[in-house]
Structure 1
Amino acid sequence: MAEKRSIFQDVETGKPEAGAPRAEPKGGMIDAGRRGARRGIRIWLMVLFALVVVMIAVGGLTRLTDSGLSITEWRPLTGAIPPLNAADWEAEFDLYKQIPEFQVQNSWMSLEDFKVIYWWEWGHRQLGRVIGLVWAFGFFGFLVARQIPAGWTKRLFFLGVLGGLQGAVGWWMVHSGLGGDRVDVASYRLATHLGLAFVILGFITWYVLLLSRPEREILQARRAREARLFSLGTGWMHFTFLQILIGALVAGIDAGRSYTEWPLMGGGLWPQQMMVIEPWWRNFFENPGTVQFIHRMTGYALLAFSVLALIRGRRSANMATRSAFTLAFCALLAQIALGIVTVVLAAPWEVAILHQFLAVILWVLILRARFHAGYPVAQSVRGR
């Protein structure tokens, strides 16, 4: 006759030997999602983030020193080797002499002057190669070691695709200034190049934030998402990105130095010659007064939207979310104030670079606020 079992008794496929330790229960699929070198990958991504930020700063200085067109060829591999002797330097200088920037603007340059701008651009390109190598060693190292968490291989590979695309866009930008009647790169190509850099930063930031908490906690937090606030954070992110692109157009044609007063422009609310270039649509890319006016107006609109985001964010039941929206709004105020100072001082390179760097901080903080709305941090009732 079969032995009766209590409903509370464990059911096992076999009886353990006497004195044998009891097996620990295994985690489920949520715990399995935590496998992989999450901490190591997060550190690697943070290194990539720092390198991209430095790349943006060096790129800005390259533009401000008019160095971006000093290397007139794109050689992804052999271009890593700089001129090694006098003949090599003369050959590079001769190539530079053939483009409009030298013929119209820099014909006064000697070889020594050329070397200064050459090293800026060469350093900029080498930093791009370093970033590519850091990504490749990290990605394939984690891949071979099978330390990439489930669902993360495509995400991390996508960063490498974006990096390769950025290199191609960079050459596309430079190429626009090598012929025709231009003495600088096309402003819309510069905006594309800088915009893609911020896209890369955005993805890295988002991945770092996701990896900063266990997978199980992320899945639980997602169920508590503040949907409306998350959507508002998404709109805030897109609005800020648009302003960054317009700022790149300003930088591309030095529009920040065209009207150095605030809040007026040339004594009026808007510049008098806003649509003097033919065809009319070129004014939105090439007319300094028009481009700066658009940048100002978009800034005011962004401020109004940001006030709304702050009000909604402060209503969140989660303290970390409220703090994240407040901090992002404070960064926006600082960026607006610094933008005004940049215009009034006619955009000296030190202030212009600081303005660009603060844009990076603002971008990251808005992404962080959006993340907190989408994945609220659990807190006690007392914390509320």
Structure 2
Amino acid sequence: MSSSPSRHADMTPRHRRLISNWLFVLCFMLLGMIAIGGVTRLTGSGLSIMDWQPVSGIIPPLSHAEWERLFALYQTIPQYHLQHEGFGLEGFQKIFWAEWIHRFWGRLMGLVLIVPLAWFTLRGMITRGLALRLFLFFILGALQGAIGWFMVASGFRPDSTAVEPVRLVLHLSAALILYVAVLWTAFSIRWPDPQPVASSANTRRTKLLVWAGLGLICVTIIAGGFTAGTHAGFVFNTFPLMDGHLIPADYSNLTPFWLNWVENKAAIQFDHRLLATLTALTIGAILLVGLRTTTLGSRAHNALMMLGWAVLIQYALGVTTLLLVVPVWAGAVHQTFAAVLLGVMLYVLHTLRGASTR
């Protein structure tokens, strides 16, 4: 994330638009993947496919006998007996299709990345360095599939109906790392040269606050992953108080104390609320300082306005999801828009590449 002139400036404007648009499409697909992942989690669909077949798994069951075989396999795990016993083959097919679409979408993204990458490389439209970076993204995407199976396998434990929260957070974090890497690359190709910004106290404060806001968004998303993984969103469904208290009475029930942050539902939900509020306040400070700084330029100012609207929408989605006791649609939209907010913050940072922090 350097502010130095980009090597992408050597590409023709037409090629920059074409390649950046392709990468933006990949980013939208990643957002779709995050949304589908939210649906599979909230509907309990993630454990319906009991094996991991990276290539042959693209073909769904084609016969009644195959459906029966897969359903019989699913009936051997605890989730079926503890959560779905008696829902029949038709019910199994519903959760199977949700998980199959999730995995199919990941494979489709791999094709959307690797096929154009090979074409652009053979045509000499991208540099060797960029081709290697994009191929690394393909490897990271494949690794993400392996992490997904590592997560799913944790749900086959005795007396378990869901995956381990830590593995869920790892899977979500890996997806967001890939999303950030692809999105930053797309921004850098589309706008290769940073706009020079006159150094001032306000420009320095704005950029430092943006970095702080970016860090807070990342930590808040991780906290949200633990909220989802422990089902902490289904308790204390009031706002702003939690069972009549600002800080829940059983916040520190577990010992050692740090266990409360990853296992205590009251503490996990409170931490997510607190981090979300700190993020919103930090973004408010960014807007307060940045919009008064005329030297930032119009693109940066427009990006800051987008950031303000994005955080308002995301905070409202979070409160709505909580008050409605996490319906599938609200949970999935809230999870997905967290990545949108992260992307907008990344765009703001990209527009400020020419602003010094010294």
Query: Common fold, TM-score beyond 0.5?
Result: yes
Residues 1:141 and 2:119 aligned together: yes
Residue identity matched to 2:20: R
* Contact 1:37–1:149, Cα closer than 8 Å, also in 2: no
Whole-angstrom distance in 2 between the partners of 1:349 and 1:301: 26
Whole-angstrom distance in 1 between the partners of 2:254 and 2:92: 33
Instruction: Give the root-mean-square deviation of aligned CA atoms.
Output: 2.3
| Greater Cα radius of gyration, structure 1 or 2 | 1
Structure-2-length-normalised TM-score? 0.88
Residue identity matched to 2:231: D
Matched residue SS, 1:361: helix
Indicate which of 200, 206, 210 corresponds to 2:178: 200
For residue 210 of structure 2, what is the aligned residue in structure 1?
Answer: 233
* Contact 1:227–1:373, Cα closer than 8 Å, also in 2: no
Count matched residues: 344
For residue 103 of structure 2, what is the aligned residue in structure 1?
Answer: 125
Deviation at 1:39, TM superposition (A): 2.3
Indicate which of 32, 52, 57 corresponds to 1:79: 57
Residues 1:357 and 2:344 aligned together: no
* Contact 1:315–1:322, Cα closer than 8 Å, also in 2: no
Structure-1-length-normalised TM-score? 0.83
**Does the C-alpha gap of structure 1 residues 84 and 30 become closer, same or farther in structure 2, counting only changes over 3 Å?**
closer
Q: How does 1:305-324 map to 2 (within 5 A)?
A: 305-316=282-293, 317=295, 318-324=297-303
For residue 233 of structure 2, what is the aligned residue in structure 1?
Answer: 256
The range that moved more, 314-323 or 125-134, is 314-323
Matched residue SS, 2:352: helix
Deviation at 1:361, TM superposition (A): 2.2
For residue 338 of structure 1, what is the aligned residue in structure 2?
Answer: 317
Deviation at 1:120, TM superposition (A): 0.8
Whole-angstrom distance in 1 between the partners of 2:7 and 2:69: 61
CA distances 1:331-351 after superposition (whole Å, capped 9, x unpaired): 112211221122111111222
Matched residue SS, 2:228: helix
Q: How does 1:19-168 map to 2 (within 5 A)?
A: 33-35=10-12, 37-149=15-127, 151-168=129-146
**Does the C-alpha gap of structure 1 residues 129 and 83 become closer, same or farther in structure 2, counting only changes over 3 Å?**
same
Residue identity matched to 1:267: G
Matched residue SS, 1:176: helix
Q: How does 1:169-248 map to 2 (within 5 A)?
A: 169-213=147-191, 215=192, 218=193, 221=195, 229-248=206-225
Deviation at 1:94, TM superposition (A): 1.7
**Does the C-alpha gap of structure 1 residues 48 and 242 become closer, same or farther in structure 2, counting only changes over 3 Å?**
same
Residues 1:296 and 2:260 aligned together: no
For residue 349 of structure 2, what is the aligned residue in structure 1?
Answer: 370
The range that moved more, 164-173 or 196-205, is 196-205
More helix by percentage: 2
**Does the C-alpha gap of structure 1 residues 69 and 40 become closer, same or farther in structure 2, counting only changes over 3 Å?**
same
CA distances 1:209-251 after superposition (whole Å, capped 9, x unpaired): 11223x4xx06x3686856543432222121011111112111
Unaligned segments of structure 1, at least 5 residues: 1-28, 377-384
**Does the C-alpha gap of structure 1 residues 347 and 165 become closer, same or farther in structure 2, counting only changes over 3 Å?**
same
CA distances 1:242-283 after superposition (whole Å, capped 9, x unpaired): 111111211122211201111110111222223445665443
Q: How does 1:273-284 map to 2 (within 5 A)?
A: 273-277=250-254, 281-284=258-261
Residue identity matched to 2:132: K
Whole-angstrom distance in 1 between the partners of 2:10 and 2:23: 19
* Contact 2:36–2:332, Cα closer than 8 Å, also in 1: no
* Contact 1:175–1:185, Cα closer than 8 Å, also in 2: yes
Whole-angstrom distance in 1 between the partners of 2:197 and 2:287: 23
Matched residue SS, 1:324: helix
Whole-angstrom distance in 2 between the partners of 1:278 and 1:342: 30
Residue identity matched to 2:125: Q
Residue identity matched to 2:54: P
**Does the C-alpha gap of structure 1 residues 228 and 273 become closer, same or farther in structure 2, counting only changes over 3 Å?**
closer
Whole-angstrom distance in 2 between the partners of 1:131 and 1:196: 15
Residue identity matched to 1:234: W
**Does the C-alpha gap of structure 1 residues 148 and 170 become closer, same or farther in structure 2, counting only changes over 3 Å?**
same
* Contact 2:48–2:96, Cα closer than 8 Å, also in 1: yes
Residue identity matched to 2:268: V
